[in-house]
Amino acid sequence: MFITRWIIFVLLKHFPLNVTGSHHDPRVTLTGEDVHVRRYSLNCSNRRIELLPGFPQNNSVYVGGHGKLWYLNFNRRNQSKKATFPALERKRSDRKPTAPGNYDVTTLHRVDATRLFVCGSNGNQPKCCLMTLDMVCIEDISPSGIAPFNVTERAPSLYIDNDVYAAVSREAKQNSVAIRRIGNKTHMWPEIAKQEQRYISMAFSGPREDQLQDKVYTFLVQESSDNHPEASAWNSWVTQVCKADMGGPKTMLQKSWTSRLSARLSCGIHDRKEYFNQLLDVAVLQADNWTQSRVYGLFRNGWGMTAICIYTMGDIDHVFKNSDFEGFTGAVPNPRPGEQCVKDSTKLPQKVLSHVKEYPNMRDWVWPVGRGGPLMVSHHDYKGIRADRVRGPGHKHYNVLLLSLDNGRIHKVLEHDAGVFIIAELQPFSTRTRIQNMLLQHSTKKLYVSSSSEVVEVDLSGCQSYGSLCVDCVQARDPYCSWSRTHCTATSRKGIQDVEHGNVSVCGQDGGSVPKPSGKKVEILPLASNHYLHCPMSSSHAEYSWRHGGQARECVPANGSCLLLINSMTSEEDGVYTCVASEGGYTRTLAEYRLQAESKARGLTPPSLALACLLLLLLIR
């Protein structure tokens, strides 16, 4: 016992773990034990997980996986359901059911209050189905052009007004992808692009004042046509199509988009020539006025750095309505291609159609809001992004981002005027795992995160974990949380909080009072013995230090603690030791110890034991 303590001591003394906090790192780390997490085991390993909100009232989600669909009700577990996808079929010839097991659900949408739209693939023959909310197939739908063959294909899709918009490969072979539409309106079946394209996400751009003008935006990366050796392999684009588009007449662009225009997305620090060209994921925060809806793009560069750039739908629309067309110098035909959506696109003038066909790309790029650069640049290898708009105390709204890492962790990030503040790292899974998908339920402030075999529900307003004092709550700067005068809890109108600055002066004199430090009792230690004192380090943004007899003492960070090491106890080391943390100009005492050296040394202490061993070794030689 004593010896192991001594070994730890020596190791720490000579190889201190350097974990000086940086503000690019999460302020605190919260495990599944700290935050309110509910788990649901899927009891099998899934290559792909699709998530769809169920009923917010009863905290439920629909989950698509390998040969299965689940309805998970986190409030009443016994009401959860499981169904096979596709349902067992009997072949007429052999009357044996075909094995359903090798289908992976790839597409999952809500049609209306009573039906779901589900597609899945077995790598060969996809299937789509309209289902009841009890997950019974009521109508087969042709999967052609809207359901992927390959389960690894991202295949973004949208379900709007009885139409499915999807960007998927038409065949099992790669690179037969295009934006297609099937459903109630004219089916759209455009030609395949020449360059390789990977579709990332789709979003509805509306509702606009005149709903005829509603559009669908698709975000994609495209193989770079730039042969310059330093150019990156992928470029990021946004494409618009009109919802009302019915394609051209028989002679031109029949069943192809007559309103399809594309623009490059800019994300980079231009004076430093740092560009983030590859879009990885997109989150959209819809606003009441569609022009203010925000598109959060998560990008990466060739060196594994990630960046987030924000675009408004209004800015994207502006580029499509005003930019010159790439490679075109003549007079732009009237009506300007793609500017107005029309009731009957088959009647558009030939000149307009051929312009859309020949010059679909805009010369101007879409620039991020604010200073025209990224909201944040990070060395973290983020994979996915979700965004939420949170009403903080005093009715002010804040945007919060949830960024997934490939080790199963999630960063909760506050967006504010001056940039970002990384509130916390959430560790919802008990082991390192790959996050397959995330779903944010705005109305209940729940985040659903899935690994290949588990779905966990994280309560984003689980605030107790920040601590039991007002200062803990305020320094957390979490807009989901505020101080209720007794504890840190989900934001209320009258709650105490300072999301902008985390300035603890809002706590008043009581709230800011010093907590009871641990260990008031005097500890008697043997003379010449070594010893170490613990101080909890919960915030990576704070500076920790020890004080003794009016002097600062070195803090050795280890295992989430700031340790004070005493080599050899003497009466000079007697007295009070306090550990203080300083953050945002506020200093508080976290721990206090009283040590006293025993008047006489007793027996051999480890350092002298070591000395004896060393002497012995020297003598033998």
21 touching ligand NAG, by CB under 6 A: no
Q: Which is nearer to ligand NAG, 74 or 359 (CB)?
A: 74
197 touching ligand NAG, by CB under 6 A: no
**Interface residues for ligand NAG in 569-588 (CB under 6 A)?**
584-585
- CA 357 from chain center: how many Å? 37
Tell me the chain's radius of gyration from C-alpha atoms: 30
Binding to ligand NAG by CB under 6 A, coded x per residue (else -) over 270-299, reads -------------------x-x--------
Closest CA to 441 of 28, 23, 74, 84: 74
486 touching ligand NAG, by CB under 6 A: no
443 touching ligand NAG, by CB under 6 A: no
State in angstroms the smallest separation of the CB of 135 from ligand NAG: 12
- CA 298 from chain center: how many Å? 9
417 touching ligand NAG, by CB under 6 A: no
Size of the chain, expressed as the number of residues it contains: 621
Which part of the chain contacts ligand NAG (CB under 6 A), choosing from 12-20, 50-58, 221-229, 271-279?
50-58
322 touching ligand NAG, by CB under 6 A: no
207 touching ligand NAG, by CB under 6 A: no
Count of beta carbons in the 10 Å neighbourhood of residue 343: 8
Strand order in the sheet with 575-583: 522-525, 586-597, 575-583, 543-548, 551-553
State in angstroms the smallest separation of the CB of 82 from ligand NAG: 6
Q: Which is nearer to ligand NAG, 419 or 584 (CB)?
A: 584
**Amino acid, single-letter form, for residue 532:** Y
φ and ψ of 187, to 5 deg: -70, 140
Q: Which of 505, 571, 582, 608 binds ligand NAG (CB under 6 A)?
A: 505
Which part of the chain contacts ligand NAG (CB under 6 A), choosing from 101-109, 227-235, 277-285, 499-507?
499-507
C-alpha–C-alpha distance, residues 282 and 284, integer Å = 7
Q: What angle do CA 591, 570, 580 make, to 5 degrees?
A: 20
509 touching ligand NAG, by CB under 6 A: no
Q: Which of 4, 20, 41, 509 binds ligand NAG (CB under 6 A)?
A: 41
Binding to ligand NAG by CB under 6 A, coded x per residue (else -) over 109-148, reads --------------x-------------------------
Count of beta carbons in the 10 Å neighbourhood of residue 540: 20
C-alpha–C-alpha distance, residues 299 and 268, integer Å = 10
Q: Which is nearer to ligand NAG, 177 or 403 (CB)?
A: 177
Q: Hey, is 490 helix, strand or coil? A: strand
Tokens of 560: 């989430």
Which part of the chain contacts ligand NAG (CB under 6 A), choosing from 55-63, 235-243, 405-413, 433-441?
55-63
194 touching ligand NAG, by CB under 6 A: no
Q: Which is nearer to ligand NAG, 453 or 596 (CB)?
A: 453
Which part of the chain contacts ligand NAG (CB under 6 A), choosing from 51-59, 368-376, 475-483, 566-574?
51-59
Binding to ligand NAG by CB under 6 A, coded x per residue (else -) over 526-565, reads ---------------------------------xx-----
C-alpha–C-alpha distance, residues 17 and 35, integer Å = 27
C-alpha–C-alpha distance, residues 142 and 498, integer Å = 54
Count of beta carbons in the 10 Å neighbourhood of residue 251: 9
Q: Which is nearer to ligand NAG, 150 or 529 (CB)?
A: 150
Count of beta carbons in the 10 Å neighbourhood of residue 404: 24
Helix locations, 397-516, DSSP H: 470-476, 508-511
Q: Which of 102, 503, 545, 596 binds ligand NAG (CB under 6 A)?
A: 503
C-alpha–C-alpha distance, residues 68 and 27, integer Å = 39
# binding residues, ligand NAG (CB under 6 A): 28
Q: Which of 89, 134, 161, 572 binds ligand NAG (CB under 6 A)?
A: 161
Tokens of 550: 């009016």
**In the chain, what's the furthest Cα-to-Cα distance?**
104
Closest CA to 414 of 436, 392, 435: 392
State in angstroms the smallest separation of the CB of 152 from ligand NAG: 4
Q: Which is nearer to ligand NAG, 394 or 560 (CB)?
A: 560
Reduced 3-state DSSP string for 127-158: EEEEEECCCCEEEEECCCCCCCCCCCCCCCEE
Residues at the interface with ligand NAG (CB under 6 A): 41, 43, 55, 57-58, 60, 73, 76, 78-79, 82, 123, 150, 152, 161-162, 172, 184, 209, 289, 291, 501, 503, 505, 559-560, 584-585
